[in-house]
Structure 1
Amino acid sequence: MAVYANQTIIKYGVGFGSALAMAVSFTLNKSIAWAIIHGILGWIYVFYAWIFKSY
């Protein structure tokens, strides 16, 4: 049960994070292309920070 809950949280968290990045980008830039780019690059930065940063 806990594994399913974690998978669901991660699945919706990734979707929400990308949607939020795209919405903010579109609001600021008024460009669908930039919104898509920011939605993708946002998660690339998350992985970079996870690998190279020490918290």
Structure 2
Amino acid sequence: MYLKALSLIITILFISVLPVFADSEKGISSTVVGNGIGIGSALAIAICWSRTHSVLTTILAGILSWFYVIYYCIIREND
């Protein structure tokens, strides 16, 4: 279970930092990091997917990002 969540986090982080190549007016290519998701969204997505296995709730958790992570920390059951 933890291995699946870890692989999901690594995949999301890898996709979010892929460089976007843009041409400037002088014809020189420069590398620009595109807008990606933050660490809060990636963490919320991994937590939510490991708990619910629902795409809709995982998308909602990704949008809420740190709010979902804090909510999870408050309501989770200690082992």
TM-score relative to the length of structure 2: 0.34
The structure whose residues are more often helix, as a share, is 1
The structure whose residues are more often strand, as a share, is 2
Larger Rg: 2
